Amino acid sequence: MLILLAQPDNADHQAALLEACLTAQTYDKQLEDSREGYFFELIKATGNPGMYRDALLAALTDPGGSTPPCDRVQCFSILCLFAQQDPTFDRELLRTFATSGAVEDGGSAYLLALVRLEGIDGLSFVARHFHAVLSSAQDDWGWLFGALVDELGELSPADRDRLMLARRQNSFLDALFRQYEHPPQEPRPPDEPYVPFAELIARDEKFLRFTKHWIRQATVSDLEAAAHAMLAEQVPNRLWRYARLFKARPYPLALEPLVEKLLSSDNLKALPIADIVGQVRHPDVRRLALDALATPGRIEIALYLLQQNYEAGDAALILSSLKSCEADDQVIHGLGMRLRTLAEVHGDPSSDWEQLLTWAYRETPCSLCRTGIVGQMARLKVLSDPLVAECLHDADKDTVRLARDWLREREAETETENNANQ
């Protein structure tokens, strides 16, 4: 945003923005906020919104169907914002596409965007066309009606009257509201009876789920059996299940065989093992961490091992390793999460930690992680003025909120100092 505001006519910047609008680049599409509002503000800053609107319409209505579903959802959501500000925009096109797109792409985001655009009329439209799936609590979309109602926001008395009228005129909408307002009370299922580890692994051999109840109740002999099974395990996802178990309950065997497995495994298998070993504070574990820091490609393992073995000055060592780090988005995302976790316990207001967290902020592909990193930087008081200025225009609303809170706190501190000096 800052670059675009400084050079709104720059053709390269406008082309990059158009590419970002047409291609959903969200790292975690299930958890991260959508970015249509952020992109729409950027589009308006260019002074050339018509070009973007036409390109988005072309991508949305592409007869060849070459636009991927996640990109169509983003194009649709941005176009809804165009329609919100342009009374001449063909909203019927959006309604038609929402009806077909939600079915073809399986995307609830179309319906949420339509209700944000049209409010009560949009909700009534969606209820008429999707009442069957919205009323089924067993369906994957059973949660959606409540989310659609939330999109209406706080209603004025006049809007509440309009909603009651819409319910009287639309039996589907009224039935959905009745179900929403008086949900069936389902009894909480009882905890499954405890079973020995041997029976548990035989029953669920493919996925190996340790419930919280089982973890709490596990006997010493079953924990030992699980630890032996982990030493033979080669599937990374299952190793992470063991890591969850042994983060909640102490690892019951000697660490040496586990360390041997760690050293002989590739990163996918070594990471969950390092998560367990890193729970132990010991000079040998610290030496393992320092060796991993010095080994190309093993820095994330080192960060796990440092969980309980971090010492003053380690931030500089980590920073040195990061400068030579070459990794894909998945690894960078993991590194950002590990640095944030380390900062929660070991971070301090030093230049090294400021550089570490700034690196994580710049490099992580995940907006949720970026928000968490900014939160840690604010807590440690290492947020620089240029970074705050950037955060004020972030795509994630929570990051923007953190930057505003930071500025308010700084202003309050300055006012307090000025009053004290008078």
Written as tens digits, the pLDDT of the chain (422 aa) is: 667 667 767 788 888 999 999 998 888 877 888 899 999 999 998 888 999 999 999 998 876 667 788 888 899 999 999 999 999 999 999 998 888 876 666 678 889 999 999 999 999 999 998 888 787 755 555 688 899 999 999 999 999 999 999 999 999 999 999 988 887 777 777 777 888 999 888 876 667 889 899 999 999 999 999 999 999 999 999 999 999 999 999 999 999 999 999 999 999 999 999 999 999 999 999 999 999 999 999 999 999 999 999 999 999 999 999 988 888 999 999 999 999 999 999 999 999 999 999 999 999 999 999 999 999 999 999 999 999 999 999 999 999 999 999 999 999 988 888 888 77
How far is Cα 177 from Cα 158, in angstroms, rounded to an integer?
18
Place of tokens 């931030």: 315
pLDDT at 65: 67
Q: Who contacts 98 (Cβ-Cβ below 8 Å, separation ≥6)?
A: 76, 110, 111, 113, 114, 126
**Alpha-carbon 186 to chain mean position:** 30
Residues 26 and 60 sit within 8 Å (Cβ to Cβ): no
How far is Cα 277 from Cα 272, in angstroms, rounded to an integer?
9
pLDDT at 345: 94
pLDDT at 208: 82
Beta strands (DSSP E) in 172-212 are none
Question: What is each CA distance from 347 to 281, 320, 334, 342, 370, in whole angstroms?
Answer: 18, 17, 18, 7, 16
Q: Who contacts 238 (Cβ-Cβ below 8 Å, separation ≥6)?
A: 208
How far is Cα 374 from Cα 343, in angstroms, rounded to an integer?
11
pLDDT at 205: 66
How far is Cα 308 from Cα 324, in angstroms, rounded to an integer?
25
Residue type, 308: Q
Residues 237 and 208 sit within 8 Å (Cβ to Cβ): no
Residues 325 and 311 sit within 8 Å (Cβ to Cβ): no
Residues 249 and 215 sit within 8 Å (Cβ to Cβ): yes
pLDDT at 225: 96
Task: Please state, as a whole number, how many other Cβ atoms lie within 10 Å of the Cβ of residue 181.
Answer: 8
Torsion sign (Cα): 386, 387, 393, 397: negative
> Under DSSP, is residue 138 helix (H, G, I), strand (E, B) or coil?
coil
Place of tokens 């309604």: 95
> Under DSSP, is residue 252 helix (H, G, I), strand (E, B) or coil?
coil
Question: What is each CA distance from 263 to 77, 132, 326, in whole angstroms?
Answer: 48, 54, 21
- What angle do helix axes 314-323 and 329-346 make, rounded to 10 degrees? 170
Residue 87 is encoded by which pair of tokens?
């009374």
Place of tokens 């610290």: 286
How far is Cα 109 from Cα 34, in angstroms, rounded to an integer?
9
How far is Cα 303 from Cα 337, in angstroms, rounded to an integer?
10
How far is Cα 165 from Cα 159, in angstroms, rounded to an integer?
10
How far is Cα 223 from Cα 114, in angstroms, rounded to an integer?
51
Q: Who contacts 2 (Cβ-Cβ below 8 Å, separation ≥6)?
A: 389, 390, 393
Burial of 246 (0-12, 13-18, 19+ CB in 10 A): buried
- Indicate the pTM of the whole model: 0.84
pLDDT at 317: 95
pLDDT at 56: 94
**Residue/partner pairs of 40-45 with CB below 8 Å, 24 or more apart:** 40/78, 40/81, 40/82, 41/1, 42/1, 42/4, 42/17, 43/17, 43/78, 45/1, 45/4, 45/5, 45/8
How many Cα atoms sit within 13 Å of 366 on the Cβ side? 22
